[in-house]
Amino acid sequence: MQSPPSPPEWCKDVVLRDGTSLRLRPIRPDDDERMLQLFRRLSPQTVYRRFMALLKRMSLPEVQRFTHIDFAHEMALVGVVEDEGEPGGERIIGVGRFVRLPRPTHAEVAFTVEDAYQGLGIGTHLLQELLPFARMAEIEVLEAEVLAE
């Protein structure tokens, strides 16, 4: 099995439906604070749709579970925009990830997009760019849990 590249070897710039430039790249351990900031900007409804629970806050250890990944059993891409007010001059506005399930050719996939950027195609871009990484990891089926709203 080929291993997906580890950060920061891969990135891709895309343009959203409203003309916003977005950079897609693998998540990195130094994204902890950017991910905490993203979580704070999410509406309760968006948090509930992603985690299927009413989380009011996320601790640093919880965030590190999402930012410190092994890239063999899971992959996460973030969508970032330039923002000088954020750590590293960039703000995470979207995340897509897959995590291998006990059946080795299957993985769960999940997405989160900041409310102000929903409906602009970020989830579609994240999925399109996650698929080659899933293929390299010999994942044949991506599964998602969604609420029946």
pLDDT on residue 148:
63
**Tens-digit pLDDT profile for residues 71-128:** 888 999 999 999 888 777 899 999 999 999 999 999 999 999 999 999 999 999 999 9
Q: Which residues in 80-114 are b (16+ Cβ under 10 Å) and which e? A: bbeeeebeeebbbbbbbbbebeeeeeebebbbbbb
Has residue 1 got a pLDDT over 70? no
**108 lies in some domain:** yes
pLDDT on residue 147:
65
Kindly report the pTM of this predicted structure.
0.86
- Domain count within the chain: 1
pLDDT on residue 87:
72
**4 lies in some domain:** no
What's the average model confidence in pLDDT over 20-44? 91
pLDDT on residue 29:
92
**3 lies in some domain:** no
> What range does the domain containing 41 cover?
12-143
CATH number for position 57: 3.40.630.30
**36 lies in some domain:** yes
d(CA 142, CA 74): 12
Has residue 27 got a pLDDT over 70? yes
**148 lies in some domain:** no
**90 lies in some domain:** yes
